[in-house]
Structure 1
Amino acid sequence: MAARSLGFDRRFTEIFFALIPIPPLALGVHGLALALRLRAASALADRTAAYLCDHLPEGYVVVPHYGPRDGADDEVPMVVIGPPGVVVIEPRDEAGEVVCREDDWYRLRKFGVGRRFHGPSPSQRARRNAARVRGDIAVDSSRTSVEGIVVFTSAHLADVSSSSVPALEGLPAIVDRLVGSPAEPFHVAV
Structure 2
Amino acid sequence: MLGASLLVIGLIGYALIPNVHTIPVQSSSTLPAPPPLVVYPNSQYETHQNITIVSGKTNQALFNLTVSVGSSPSSIEFKLSTEAQEANCMRDINPHGCLVDQTVSNQTVEVPLNATGTYYLALNNKDSISSKTVTISSALITRSVNSFVTRDGQSNFVALGLGVIGLFVAIYGLVTKTVIPWE
Q: Same fold (TM over 0.5)?
A: no
Larger radius of gyration: 2
Higher relative contact order (CA 8 A, sep 6+): 2
Q: TM-score, normalised by structure 2?
A: 0.29
Q: TM-score, normalised by structure 1?
A: 0.28
Q: Which has the higher helix share?
A: 1
Q: Which has the higher strand share?
A: 2
